[in-house]
Amino acid sequence: MEYKQTRQGYADALIELGKKNEKVLVLDADVAKATLTEQFEAVFPDRFFNCGVQEQNMLSAAAGLALEGFIPFASTFGVFATCRAGDQMRSSIAYPKLNVKIGVTHCGITTGGDGASHQSNEDIGMARTLPNMTVIVPGDYEESRLATHAAATMHGPVYLRFGRDKYPVVPEIHGDFEIGKAKLLREGSDITIVTTGIMVSEGLKAADLLEKKGYSTRVLHMHTIKPLDESAIIRAAQETKGIVTAEEHSILAGLGEAVAGIVSENHPCPVHRVGVMDTFGESGQSQELMDLYGLRAKDIVEKAIKILE
């Protein structure tokens, strides 16, 4: 299996966009080596702005550039964009519905050795509750590249979430990318697995394990958390016995609660959530942390079996 960084897909797409459109600009908060936006700077030095360790000012500057007709991509770590610059994201970008793209890396528990201070397991919840904000969580390198292109095409604020580590390349999620449209990866009539981000590979593994146990398993990949593909979720609730969600994020306020809300209002069925529990992370190797916090195929299978049996 091939492994690649989702943040590299972001960086490659920025360069591709920069070659096509001179209005594309990139801002960074002194972490360009980590976000990989230094690669954009190397090609377009006059269209790259290092704002220093001033995330609030970076988002405010991005808002001003958007008002002048540019397409700014403001880049930093997820925890800094949401927790440190949350006011500017809300009041300066989401409220006036400005055309700012917030590209964040080092998200989720797989940020690894940097520990709880840098592991943004709450950022999807913070971003998706903001009116006008589109929230996209790609599953691998190629989908990250496609998502960045899609974000540049639409008008309005977008929160793009990427990781730090190398993650499995998942060919099933490549191809057309439509914001707000889920990807049906497997048909199934017994149970539905709904994934977002890098959990798509674990979701597909879980489906294989469930198939071996005799269960017909549907797999939906939700690269867009907001707007969520409600019709795909409602069909899953109607046509299968229950849903298991899987996300590299807190089970609070992320994919799981978004899915549960739609199901409860339209066609109630059991919804079990796989994700980081209501806890902070700790330092460690990314794969060790995936095991420790229950973000594996076996954990998805366990939740599915509880519904099925």
Cα distance from N-terminal residue to C-terminal residue, the chain: 33
Q: What is the pLDDT of residue 211?
A: 98
Peptide bond into 72 cis (omega under 30): no
Within the chain, which residues score under 50 in pLDDT?
A: none
Which residues belong to the active site?
Answer: 55
Q: What is the pLDDT of residue 3?
A: 98
Q: Which DSSP category does 178 fall into?
A: -
- Helices and strands per DSSP (H, E), number in the chain: 13, 14
Same CATH fold assignment for domains 3-168 and 180-308: yes
Exposure string of 213-234, with b = 16+ CB inside 10 Å and e = fewer, is eebebbbbbbbbbbebbbebbe
Q: What is the pLDDT of residue 105?
A: 98
Would you call 186 helix, strand, or coil by DSSP?
strand
CATH architecture of 3-168: 3-Layer(aba) Sandwich (3.40)
pLDDT tens track for 216-237: 999 999 999 999 999 999 999 9
Q: Which DSSP category does 172 fall into?
A: G
Q: Domain 180-308, what fold?
A: Rossmann fold (3.40.50)
Q: What is the pLDDT of residue 161?
A: 98
Q: What is the pLDDT of residue 19?
A: 98
> What ranges do the domains of the chain cover?
3-168, 180-308
Q: What is the pLDDT of residue 282?
A: 96
Q: What is the pLDDT of residue 287?
A: 96
Question: The sheet that has 134-136: what strands, in order across it?
Answer: 48-50, 24-28, 71-77, 101-105, 158-161, 134-136, 224-226
Q: What is the pLDDT of residue 5?
A: 98
Q: What is the pLDDT of residue 25?
A: 98
Global pTM value: 0.98
Q: Which DSSP category does 46 fall into?
A: G
